[in-house]
Amino acid sequence: MLKPRKRLTKREIKEDPLVTKYVQVKQFWLHHQKEFNIIIGVIAVVVIVGFLMIKSKKSAEIKASSKLAIPETFYHLRDYERSIPELETIVEQYPGTHSAGMAVFFLANVHYDQKEYEKANDYYDIYLDDYSDDDIFISSSLAGKAACMENIEDYKQAAELYFKAAKKFPDLFTSPYNVMNAVRCYKFAGLKDKAKELSKYVINKYPDTPIEQKAEYFVKVL
């Protein structure tokens, strides 16, 4: 026969470690219930706000992308009178979106093409500071800033920016050309040693390419 189970006394229940832990946790919860409720509420608000922000950003991106198509076409047709105001509107109304970043980059190129180098430089800076979500656009923005500096005859800074664009993305097809642009600008700045040093860099970094031959020429004449 099975023996009847021994009934636990109140004292034994109190001394049971699991029961004791449960009581302690319950007392702690009751004591701090208000604080826990606040924390849970804050977490819920953060989650909801985050969800709404993501949803809002996706919606803004879709709208910005659809609005970019027409001014981008005008931009490629070099119809700047039509493209500039619409590109500016996208930047103002949809900040932080990929399409706004592209609009900023296009505006920089437009002002550069119109020989407005200060404005172009400012827009390249905006892209680099606030967007920078595409390697080609980042490299092109750095090279664009370099070209602005070259056009105002600040050759040393232009050379530094060209080389920065090349060094940051060495595998891009534009990189060796940016290094040679830096060589040219160092030469114009009177820094022939730097120009020769970068020419050798091209020879070592990009052998068996058409640009290597140009670099070899500079090494000989500098």
In CATH, what number is assigned to the domain containing residue 202?
1.25.40.10
Q: Which residue from 130, 89, 132 is spatially nearest to 107, judged by alpha carbons? A: 89
Q: Which residues contact 119 (CB under 8 A, 6 or more apart)?
A: 111
| Distance in angstroms (rounded) separating the CA atoms of residues 16 and 20 | 6
pLDDT at 184: 95
pLDDT at 220: 82
pLDDT at 65: 86
By the 8 A CB rule, do 122 and 142 touch?
Answer: no
Q: Which residues contact 13 (CB under 8 A, 6 or more apart)?
A: 19
Report yes or no on 21 lying in a domain.
Answer: no
* Counts of helices then strands in the chain (DSSP H, E): 11, 0
Report yes or no on 203 lying in a domain.
Answer: yes
Report yes or no on 89 lying in a domain.
Answer: no
The pair of three-digit structure tokens given for residue 144, joined into one six-digit string: 């664009």
| Distance in angstroms (rounded) separating the CA atoms of residues 104 and 131 | 9
pLDDT at 31: 64
Q: What is the mean pLDDT of each run of 10 residues along the chain (222 residues)?
A: 51 53 63 57 42 49 87 92 95 93 96 97 96 91 98 97 95 93 96 94 88 86 80
pLDDT at 208: 82
Q: Which residue from 199, 205, 196 is spatially nearest to 169, judged by alpha carbons? A: 205
Report yes or no on 8 lying in a domain.
Answer: no
pLDDT at 51: 40
pLDDT at 30: 64
Report yes or no on 140 lying in a domain.
Answer: no
Residue that has been written with the tokens 């604080």 in this structure? 35
pLDDT at 212: 87
Please give the tally of structural domains in the chain: 1
pLDDT at 42: 41
Domain span holding position 202: 151-222
The pair of three-digit structure tokens given for residue 17, joined into one six-digit string: 């470690």
For 111-181, list the strands marked E by DSSP: none
pLDDT at 174: 92
Report yes or no on 9 lying in a domain.
Answer: no
